[in-house]
Amino acid sequence: MTHIIHRNPRTPLATAVRGLGSYLIDHEGRRYYDGSGGAAVSCLGHGHPEVADAVIAQIRTLEYAHTSFFTSEPAEQLADTLVRRSPPGLAHVYFLSSGSEAVETALKLARQYHVERGEPGRWRSIARLQSYHGNTLGALAAGGHQGRRRLYQPLLADVTHVSACFPLHYRRPEESDDGYGDRLAHELDTAILEAGPETVSAFIAETVVGATAGAVCAVPGYFRKLREVCDRHGVVFILDEVMSGLGRTGSYHAFEQEGVVPDLLCLAKGLGGGYQPIAAVMAHDRIVDAIAGGSGAFQHGHTYIGHPVACAGALAVQNIIERDGLVQRSATLGRYLQDCLRERLGGHPHVNDIRGRGLFQAVELVQDREGNRVFDPGLQLHARIKRTALARGLLCYPGGGTVDGVRGDHVLLAPPYTTTQEELQSAVDILVASIGAAIAEVRDLQ
């Protein structure tokens, strides 16, 4: 009998008792390769002794000091590290405990920026379909993930959604990358004009889409075009790299591969690597200067912001990523993983796409490639793949359902940057077998 409200009470869970490198071990001694890093969290794998030492040392020295009285050394050092590794201007950091809080904070920073500059009428946010920005009510309203929104509608905030950039399904046959990007930029421009630019505060997007659609990258030039539209209308440009940031896609920030710099950047999972619950918003000078020149202080705060132990753990994680060249490793191993997936699954009759960047890769499945027909969403193929893979010792992150316009089922892989080629190869072996078994199950039901 459990007293915990579990995610899915009908599915009994194993108890995780230990983490070791790329593996988790359950109460019966079974080993699981953490092929999704949880949900793209465990960038250093499990049980890293240096991170554990840093966390323990910090707890012994100073476990907590409220940020209305004090700053702390680990928080200051972590902020310095993030700023040093970011483009000029992105020079301010606000620490939080979760990705959802980071998104809420970015939306509020944008709002206060406008108020301080004498434009209090700018309150609206614009986000994209097929996106996920978190589960608190504001972040849920920003996300375009219908499955997670449905029960709670109408949501607190009224957010306008524009199309995501999903070339596989939504680029027209005759359209070039440039033409597709132009069409989407025009759609955002129209949405802002229809809402009234004087009412629009911020636009938010995941640089590489994670939870809803699985490692979807935009076409080249798309983000530059959208940034231009935002600039033209004075709209704050927010990138959500909670899942895709800090080395996951093979560059420190995912936006480095897009030729843009956001006004506000949301970070979380790879920041603490799962060793501590920690997130951050990085803010550009222009946002912070407007607040500094106005009322002086960001009107916000949570009890655990800048938590010294969380910051010490994250500082150790970021220092190890830098010292061990793990961003480069994510890029190189990511190419290797994509090659393995293409070799083993490229010709598979139900595999529609293999995509991603760095150690952020996804496989999309359909019933029929030529006719572009998806499996009946009721069959939950992605959940079956997760289940069969789990039973074979592989953790992967599933998603799908036509309801979000995602089309088809997918499985996301986001292993630790410390993993090896051999581990990736055996993960792909298990994934191939699991896809085969899950499709056989589904066929039996059809």
Quick one: 240 or 353, whose CB is closer to ligand PMP? 240
**Smallest gap from residue 443 Cβ to ligand PMP (A):** 31
Of positions 54, 200, 243, 365, contacts ligand PMP by CB under 6 A? 243
Q: Which residue has the tokens 């803010």?
A: 283
134 binds ligand PMP (CB under 6 A): yes
Beta bridge partners of 360: 357
Beta bridge partners of 240: 206, 266
Pairing of strands 159-162, 124-128: parallel
Cis peptide, bond prior to residue 154, ω within 30 of zero: yes
On whether the CB atoms of residues 327 and 250 are closer than 8 A, the answer is yes
Q: Which residue is nearest to ligand PMP (CB)?
A: 99
Cα-Cα-Cα-Cα dihedral sign, residues 192, 201, 271, 17:
negative
Of positions 189, 206, 263, 423, contacts ligand PMP by CB under 6 A? 206
Distance separating alpha carbons of residues 308 and 310, to the nearest angstrom: 6
Stretch that binds ligand PMP, among 94-102, 174-182, 249-257, 317-325 (CB under 6 A): 94-102
Output the six-digit token pair for 311.
């910051």
Quick one: 211 or 431, whose CB is closer to ligand PMP? 211
**Smallest gap from residue 98 Cβ to ligand PMP (A):** 4
Stretch that binds ligand PMP, among 3-11, 127-135, 215-223, 418-426 (CB under 6 A): 127-135
Stretch that binds ligand PMP, among 21-29, 85-93, 99-107, 427-435 (CB under 6 A): 99-107
Quick one: 217 or 268, whose CB is closer to ligand PMP? 268
Stretch that binds ligand PMP, among 131-139, 230-238, 324-332, 380-388 (CB under 6 A): 131-139
133 binds ligand PMP (CB under 6 A): yes
Of positions 98, 201, 257, 352, contacts ligand PMP by CB under 6 A? 98
Distance separating alpha carbons of residues 86 and 254, to the nearest angstrom: 11
- Number of Cβ within 10 Å of residue 349's Cβ equals 11
Distance separating alpha carbons of residues 156 and 141, to the nearest angstrom: 7
Quick one: 279 or 430, whose CB is closer to ligand PMP? 279
Nearest CA to 138 out of 157, 154, 117 is that of 157
39 binds ligand PMP (CB under 6 A): yes
**Smallest gap from residue 99 Cβ to ligand PMP (A):** 2
326 binds ligand PMP (CB under 6 A): no
Pairing of strands 264-267, 236-241: parallel
Nearest CA to 100 out of 264, 214, 269 is that of 269
Quick one: 230 or 242, whose CB is closer to ligand PMP? 242
**Smallest gap from residue 205 Cβ to ligand PMP (A):** 10
211 binds ligand PMP (CB under 6 A): yes
242 binds ligand PMP (CB under 6 A): yes
**Smallest gap from residue 279 Cβ to ligand PMP (A):** 6
399 binds ligand PMP (CB under 6 A): no
φ, ψ (nearest 5 deg) of residue 3:
-105, 5
**Smallest gap from residue 102 Cβ to ligand PMP (A):** 7
DSSP-derived 3-state class of residue 167: helix
Stretch that binds ligand PMP, among 95-103, 117-125, 180-188, 291-299 (CB under 6 A): 95-103
Nearest CA to 213 out of 269, 307, 144, 136 is that of 144
On whether the CB atoms of residues 377 and 403 are closer than 8 A, the answer is yes
Nearest CA to 253 out of 318, 313, 340, 203 is that of 318
Q: What contacts 163, CB < 8 A, 6 or more positions away?
A: 128, 129, 170, 184, 187
Query: According to CB under 6 A, which residues from 265 to 284 bind ligand PMP?
Result: 268
Q: What residues make contact with ligand PMP under the rule CB under 6 A?
A: 39, 98-100, 103, 132-134, 206, 210-211, 240, 242-243, 268
